[in-house]
Amino acid sequence: MQVVFMIILTYGLYRLAKWLAKRIPILLFHPLLFTPALIIIVIHLLDIEPTHYSDGTALLTHMLGPATIAFAIPIYKHIHFFRKNFAMIMIAVIIGSFVAIFSTLALALLVKLEQHLLISLLPRSITTPLAMEVSASIDGVPALTIVFVILTGIMGSLMAPFIFKIFRIKTPMAKGLALGMSAHAVGTNRAIEYGDEATTFSTLAMIFAGIVTVILGLTLLPQLVALL
Amino acid sequence: MKKITKIILQVAIIHIFLFLAIGIKALWPVPLPTTIIGLILLLLALQFKLIKLEWIEEGGRWLMAELLLFFIPSAVGIVNYQEITSLQGLGLVLIIGLSTAVVMGVTALVVERLGGRT
């Protein structure tokens, strides 16, 4: 019974956030800010344990797996496009992934962040299911990594228009690759506003940035973490 | 109602690829996450016409369109980590914001420069 209630609660508040965000496009109504904040208030008022909530909504979290697999569909549909732009996509995600990891590392060392936070922060720029696996493989805390991934996505999609203005980015290719690389699925959601071409590039960048970071998580990152 | 049934069926078909990927990973220690193995399997199945795009297109579109919904329970999980709301939290938000801006800016500039020449 509680499971049904928690899923309906989550879905209802998610729909509400989407409805509000469409009419009043401000940060407050972002589905990843508005909905979790209200849920935290509701479960607190109803005295539901946070662990009960996460167990009850495990089905929703589970869907991240099939959703990631479903990204094979846009790749398949744009396979010619992908082959034609293969080199550019790879250049973008390889440079982007290194910048993501090393800028995070440098800033974290600068503010003397605790080690478990720092490690959990490293895979933050890729899509959740992959970020969790990388986090676990370098002894981070996957639950913390999820939060960092979400913050990255929200901030990335919000700052995109300003970044593109400051650096005078005009082409859908550059916008899409930058969004997918820096802000994964949430950024790809934003790329829809810049058209089909930007969305396709963003999807491809998100997937390949994930793969590059997973490979780095198995090779370079453990050695980097050992040095800390 | 018909659309919902179709989406449920198609999401179930996509699950087959998830289970295949879990099976492969159990038998042979591939150093890739199961979701990436599943993605590759689905792409191959589409490429080699083992399955038709129409069998999964609607379900796949729904999964991708509602992606933010699936993140919500994890976002609620933030309540378990009080440290994020403390002073460390401010530093974290600053790091994430700055680093994301740098990644986005650098990636966009590199592509914009190189793209103009090819």
Residue of A nearest to B14 (CA): A66
Residues of A (179-208) whose Cβ lies below 8 Å from B: 179, 181-183, 185-186, 189, 205, 207
Average pLDDT over chain A reads 91
Q: B89 CB near a chain A CB, below 8 Å? A: no
Tokens of residue A165, six digits: 């203005």
DSSP string covering A112-168? T--HHHHHHHTTTTS-HHHHHHHHHHTT--HHHHHHHHHHHHHHHHHHHHHHHHHTT
Mean pLDDT of A7-33: 91
Contact yes or no for A97/A208 (Cβ under 8 A): no
Contact yes or no for A150/A168 (Cβ under 8 A): no
pLDDT digits (tens, 9 = 90+) for B58-114: 999 999 889 889 989 988 887 777 766 677 788 899 999 999 999 999 999 999 999
Q: What is the pLDDT of residue B50?
A: 96
| Inter-chain CB proximity B104 and A181 less than 8 Å | yes
Contact yes or no for A103/A121 (Cβ under 8 A): no
How many Å apart are CA B96 and CA A103, to the nearest integer? Answer: 9
Residues of A (40-79) whose Cβ lies below 8 Å from B: 40, 43, 50, 53-54, 57-58, 60-61, 63-77, 79
How many Å apart are CA A18 and CA A31, to the nearest integer? Answer: 6
CB atoms under 10 Å from CB of B68, counted, come to: 21
Task: Closest CB to B77: pick one of A146, A167, A214.
Answer: A146
Contact yes or no for A32/B73 (Cβ under 8 A): no
CA atoms within 13 A on the CB side of A215: 10
pLDDT digits (tens, 9 = 90+) for A60-73: 999 989 998 998 99
Contacting residues of A for B92, CB less than 8 Å apart: 113, 117, 121, 148, 151
pLDDT digits (tens, 9 = 90+) for A172-188: 999 999 999 999 988 99
State the distance between the two ends of chain A, measured CA to CA, in whole angstroms.
47
Contact yes or no for A120/A135 (Cβ under 8 A): yes
Contacting residues of A for B112, CB less than 8 Å apart: 167, 169-171, 174
Q: B12 CB near a chain A CB, below 8 Å? A: no
* Residue with tokens 């159990």, as numbered in its chain: B26
| Inter-chain CB proximity B63 and A92 less than 8 Å | no
Mean pLDDT of A34-44: 93
Minimum distance, in Å, between the CA of residue A25 and any CA atom of chain B: 16
pLDDT digits (tens, 9 = 90+) for A120-143: 999 998 988 789 888 988 988 887
